[in-house]
Chains A and B, each alone.
Chain A
Amino acid sequence: MTDTRISPARPRTASPAARAVRPGPRERGTRLLAAVFLAPTVVGIVVFTVVPIVGSVVLSLFHWNVIDPPGFAGAANYREAFGDSTVLVSFRNTLVFMVFAVAAQLLIALALALTLNGRMPAWLRSVFRSAFFFPLVLSAASISVVMKYLFNQDFGVVNWLIGLFGIAPVPWLTSEHGAMATVVIVYVWQQFGFSFLLFVGGLNNIPKEIHEAAALDGATGPRKHLAITLPLLSPTLLVASVVGIINALQVFEQPYVLTDGGPGDSTRTVVMVIYEKAFEQLRFGEASAVGVLLFVLIMAVTALQFRLSRRFVHYQ
């Protein structure tokens, strides 16, 4: 704890001081150091991400089934993708999934973090924190196999459990809405711990004096949270939602194992479609085209978030 003092006010770009000094050995030294420090990351990214992405973009302009030599297709793969109802449905599913999953993930995490922030013995707090983080250490594929047992309509533990409260069995995996709900639940179950820890950290960083000042002004309970805590937490909310959305838009394992995209197309996500087109149907060009579209979508959503954040996020 001693190492992590956070000083609240911080200018946006680093070291204007360095710039004030006239160009000299120090500045050159800084640049050299930056180059050395960045080299492993940037070289790695160029070789193992940028080159493959460029490869995919090029591939999206070709017809290629892996076996025969590729043939130039121009925009045909994109036209095909836009004309394919499965592709369009998968984008809709992914967005619906993203909205529900991220909202649920953030709300649950925030509620738990705020509740945990109240008075409580330290050991108990630690137990809860561990419990909420725990699902994150499991493999999504294995846990989805387990969840498939638990959510079985006729024999699963979940329906037995809600049956105790007199609720009729829900067709979790075998109806369209049920399947989407199940995928969201299983995903959120595993992921909320991450946002939770972010919020715990964010709350810890809110200076105590602010709470006390608010209390003197008569703000208590939920009102205090809305008026004071949330704005102070908004930078954390931004980080949690950006990472949450980027991950949610790439969801694959949970629907793949739980529902295989069904019933119908109701839980088929974009990444599933990419996988199916490439590795099941041997249409690598079209798969790449869909991949490029997804990439553009994620970039757009993220850019939009940062733009909106200028209005809603308050830095201390």
Chain B
Amino acid sequence: MTQATPTLSRARYALGPWARTAGLTVCALLTLGPVAWTVSTSLRTPAESFDLPPQIVPTHPGTAAYHGVFEQIDVWLLALNSTLVTALIAAGQMVTAGLAGYAFARLDFRFKKPLFALVLATMMVPLQVTIVPVFLVLKSMGLTDTLLGLIVPAFPTAFGTFLMRQYFLGMPKDLGEAAMLDGAGPWRIFRSVYAPLARPGLAIVGVLAFNYHWNEFFRPLILETSGRNYTLPLGLVSLQGNLGTGSVSVVLAGVVLSMLPAVAVFVVGQRPLREGITSAGVNR
């Protein structure tokens, strides 16, 4: 699918293909090494965790640590909460970013530039600064200690909006103009011409939202009070035990378990993700 077409210049590229592949392989191993270590450590007893040289393939593999995770925390409830929160945030961001991105890219209205700057500026505010005021706002809406309280504030997304704007800017303008000449109004142009082309872009917004919010810790920590509202990252904390006395293997097994859905989404979403990102970096 991608442009692997060899050209004259590429064939004469200084590095030979073998050297290139070898270099990339080393980089890939360095990238995946820590992940492999995490997985393999979760499959051993803690006493074997710190062997040097590290044993990537466990000598006595066992799933005891995984049983430990399920015994100690209500994985299913936590996963349900995390899924609800993350899926709804992802869906919500796809809607808000798709619409706002289109408006910024293709519609003409007053205060466009300052509004866009405002959206971008929200990326620049650290969460730790605004969490107390956010909590107060949610309290006035009766949304503290609910999953909705985690979800709704995460609907607007600066980066997603930015991405979708780039995405729509990258689409040929003649399509819309042709539709306009055919008498289509602004809504029809959006609905019939551009929206159908936006799917890969929306997929990337969704996948990025999933990645980020699946792993989120600080907001759930502050906003959720009842144990039944905890998300996975919160639940995993109790595996660490009092004063860090929990089993290392169990802690890492929890990390691996919580990683699985993110990996699944990554695998499923990888192609649209790639295609979406392809266009985000171009234009202005």
Residue of B nearest to A313 (CB): B284
User: B282: CB under 8 A from chain A?
Assistant: yes
- Are A220 and B278 within 8 A (Cβ)? no
- B118: which A residues are within 8 A, CB to CB? 42, 45, 50
On chain A, the number of residues with a Cβ less than 8 Å from chain B's Cβ atoms is 121
- Are B134 and A48 within 8 A (Cβ)? yes
Segment at the A interface, from B15-23, B57-65, B67-75: B15-23
Other-chain contact of A52, B137, B211, B259 (Cβ < 8 Å): B137
Q: From residue A276, how far is it (CB to closest CB) to chain B in Å?
A: 10
Most B CB within 10 A of own CB, among A118, A200, A246:
A118
Most A CB within 10 A of own CB, among B15, B21, B266, B274:
B274
Interface positions, chain A 220-236, Cβ under 8 Å from B, are 220-222, 224, 235-236
Other-chain contact of B281, A48, A127, A198, A224 (Cβ < 8 Å): A198
Q: From residue A263, how far is it (CB to closest CB) to chain B in Å?
A: 20
Q: From residue A58, how far is it (CB to closest CB) to chain B in Å?
A: 9
User: B52: CB under 8 A from chain A?
Assistant: yes
- Are B119 and A45 within 8 A (Cβ)? yes
- A118: which B residues are within 8 A, CB to CB? 10, 13, 15, 17, 20
User: A112: CB under 8 A from chain B?
Assistant: yes
Bin the interface of chain B by size. 35 or more
Segment at the B interface, from A79-87, A95-103, A145-153, A174-182: A145-153
- B255: which A residues are within 8 A, CB to CB? 139, 142, 145-146
Complex Cα gap A284–B282 (Å): 41
Residue of B nearest to A112 (CB): B27
Complex Cα gap A144–B168 (Å): 37
Other-chain contact of B107, A33, A40, A45, A212 (Cβ < 8 Å): A33
- Are B24 and A38 within 8 A (Cβ)? no
- Are A221 and B280 within 8 A (Cβ)? no
Most A CB within 10 A of own CB, among B100, B129, B172:
B129
Complex Cα gap A222–B50 (Å): 43
- B15: which A residues are within 8 A, CB to CB? 115, 118
Most A CB within 10 A of own CB, among B100, B115, B278:
B278
- Are A291 and B108 within 8 A (Cβ)? no
- Are B125 and A49 within 8 A (Cβ)? yes
Residue of B nearest to A56 (CB): B129
- A56: which B residues are within 8 A, CB to CB? 129-130, 133
Q: From residue B178, how far is it (CB to closest CB) to chain A in Å?
A: 12
User: A88: CB under 8 A from chain B?
Assistant: no
Q: From residue B267, how far is it (CB to closest CB) to chain A in Å?
A: 8
Q: From residue B119, how far is it (CB to closest CB) to chain A in Å?
A: 6
Other-chain contact of B263, A137, A271, A275, A313 (Cβ < 8 Å): A137
A-B contact pairs, 12 of them (CB 8 A): A1-B275, A10-B173, A41-B96, A48-B152, A53-B133, A118-B17, A129-B274, A189-B30, A200-B274, A215-B7, A235-B282, A246-B123
* Chain B residues near A (Cβ < 8 Å): 1-15, 17, 20-21, 23-24, 27-28, 30-32, 34-35, 37-38, 50, 52-54, 95-97, 99-100, 102-103, 105-110, 112, 115, 118-126, 128-130, 132-134, 136-137, 152-153, 155-159, 161, 166, 169-173, 177, 180, 185-187, 190, 197, 199-200, 211, 214-215, 217, 233, 236, 251-252, 255, 258-259, 262-263, 265-266, 270, 273-275, 277-284
